[in-house]
Amino acid sequence: MIEPRIKPTRVRHAVIALIFLITSVNYADRAAFSIAGSAASAELGLNPVQTGYILSAFAWAYVIAQIPGGLLLDRLGTKRVYVWAIASWSIFTSLQGLTGLVPMVSAVAMLFALRFLVGLAEAPSFPGNARLVAAWFPAAERGTASAIFNSAQYFSIVVFVPLMGWLAHNAGWRSIFWTMGALGLIAAAIFLRFIHSPTAHPRINRAELDHIEAGGGLIRMDEGAARTAVAFDWGNVRKLIANRMMLGIYLGQYCINVLTYFFVTWFPIYLIKERGLNVMEAGFAAAAPALFGFAGGMLGGYVSDRILQRTGSLDWARKAPLTLGMVLATFIIGCVWARQEWLVVALMSVAFFGKGIASLGWAVMADVAPRKLAGLSGGVFNMFGNMAGIVTPIVVGYIVKATGSFDLALVFVGAHCLLTIIAFLVVAGPIRRMEIAE
């Protein structure tokens, strides 16, 4: 008698859905000052350069902590590190609402310090997401899975930026930080309760585990022996940076994130100061490009996986959507000549649709990271990418102060879209998993 075939469970789909929701809160917390910034700057007396440095504070810490964060993930496992990260960044987000109320403490210093601490706490989040995708998904599904959690950055703006605009308009800018901090603590509790490694999840069956592992999923990544097989040393970091393929991928992620950080830091302020919208209108106007970015992100991941299934070529699967998307992203430069607000929003929507299609960096990392250095590889990748969060807000702040306009800032951002294509097509070369000798 033939045994009936056991149908695989689909626990991995629930896991990526939860990662998506938690990453949405992550992006909302880091973007909170962008919505609160105009009202907070007026009340606290901040000029554009001070605002630029405050907006960049998150990225200074985020970049510094990427390698330590990746090391912690490799040594302690994803779940333990990630839960503490969510709880910590949520508390630091809430405390920003007390700025200006604490005697003898400079508002600039307090905001910079707290956003710096948020950056430290959020550092393990995206390397942690990449580890979860590498563990839970076979290679043929990683493009879609990575696109889902990466698209949370757009979904976050669609849902939370209008909410934050409404809060600022009706309850004051401080309420944004208190509300988002509370939501973050709820997210930490959800992660603790429902996210596990594949081999430890109570709802997964053997058929799904076999499906994931047969497709290249690293289902035992967080087991003790796997975590400690390769000890951390700076030599491994040098090997990653010295590898041409990895360096091209790192450079490309930096260039993509220039557009991301302009949008989550200066774009709402641009709409208010240069386009004359109020804070609530800016919140809703920012949601439209984000919605297109979300759609582009989902489409890019799906198309990438379909190309991989049909051709078996990682190069075609990852680079073709990326190139098309970055060409569309250069439409942001058109805002320099746009005079109507609706046209600015339309051009931004096209740019972010393209950026969403191109946002395959984390899928590429799951494809190429050395098996025993997944956390460290993701940490270095995210470190390079988020250097854009240091450079972009500061450069834009100086441009706006010097010229009184955002025009050159838009050109600065658009030029990086073209540099992304060069980084992936010319510098990186063929996409394949990097091997590090033991």
Domain ranges of the chain: 11-428
3-state SS, residue 233? coil
Confidence at 438, pLDDT banded by 50, 70, 90? low
Q: CA-to-CA distance for 36 and 14, rounded, in angstroms? A: 33
Contact 362, 146 (CB under 8 A): yes
Quick one: pLDDT at residue 229?
A: 45
Q: CA-to-CA distance for 145 and 26, rounded, in angstroms? A: 17
Place of tokens 């240091």: 390
Q: What is the mean pLDDT of residues 64-77?
A: 81
192-241 pLDDT, tens per residue? 888 888 888 888 888 888 888 887 777 777 765 444 545 556 777 788 88
CATH code linked to domain 11-428:
1.20.1250.20
| C-alpha torsion 330→335→338→339, nearest 10 | 170
Contact 54, 183 (CB under 8 A): no
Quick one: pLDDT at residue 91?
A: 94
Q: CA-to-CA distance for 115 and 206, rounded, in angstroms? A: 44
290-326 pLDDT, tens per residue? 888 888 888 888 888 889 888 888 888 889 999 999 9
Of 272, 299, 300, 281, which Cα lies nearest the Cα of 361?
Answer: 300
3-state DSSP of 179-198: HHHHHHHHHHHHHHHHCCCH
Q: CA-to-CA distance for 111 and 105, rounded, in angstroms? A: 10
pTM (2 d.p.): 0.72
